[in-house]
Amino acid sequence: MKNTSAIALAIASVISTTAFAGIDASKLPPAATKKGVTYATDIKPLFQASCIRCHGAERPKGGLRLDSLESVLKGGKEGPVVVIGDGAKSDLVIAVSQLDPEMSMPPKPRPGRGGPRGPGGQWSEGQKGTNAPTGGQGQRPGGPGGPGGNQPPAKPLTPDQVGLVRAWIDQGAK
């Protein structure tokens, strides 16, 4: 039984190390200094503006929903994305920081992909995304069109916003 536990611990340690192998944690934005950061007050509005169109209740990508505290803490198909108490080791912080091109959320635009863009892959003036929360009557979360809609990509979180997510996780992800 001891050997099984030791093997499981070794595998878990290799998996977690592999996830961060290409990431220089010193490049992460520092945790915000704000105390008492909560999901409901501070984090959910950020996620509504930038994440919910792909990670909401309707067809959440990777099985990851970010529209409730319980869903964020549960994680997705690949497992938990939050290491409570350690934002720097949380996949969620790594993804929203955009440090790892494979994990970046929202994904960075790739040249040559189709979509409603003009020449050179640029969005026309009327199509540019916004980081402001939406909330008009009849609008889906995440912007016009909702998940899977024909819309501009979500704007990445700013370094200050990433720092707020990191602080929230460091403070216990409540």
List CB contacts of 134: < 8 A, sequence separation 6 or more. Answer: 48, 49, 140, 141, 142, 143, 144
Burial level of 26, CB count in 10 A (0-12/13-18/19+)?
A: exposed
Percent of the chain with pLDDT over 70: 63
**Would you say the pTM of this structure is higher than 0.75?**
no
**Which among 168, 172, 148 has a CA at the least distance from the CA of 157?**
168
Report which secondary-structure segment, H or E, holds 161: helix 159-170
Q: What is the mean pLDDT of each run of 10 residues along the chain (174 residues)?
A: 41 40 84 98 96 93 97 97 97 94 84 49 45 42 47 86 98 98
pLDDT in tens, 60-86: 999 999 999 999 999 999 999 999 999
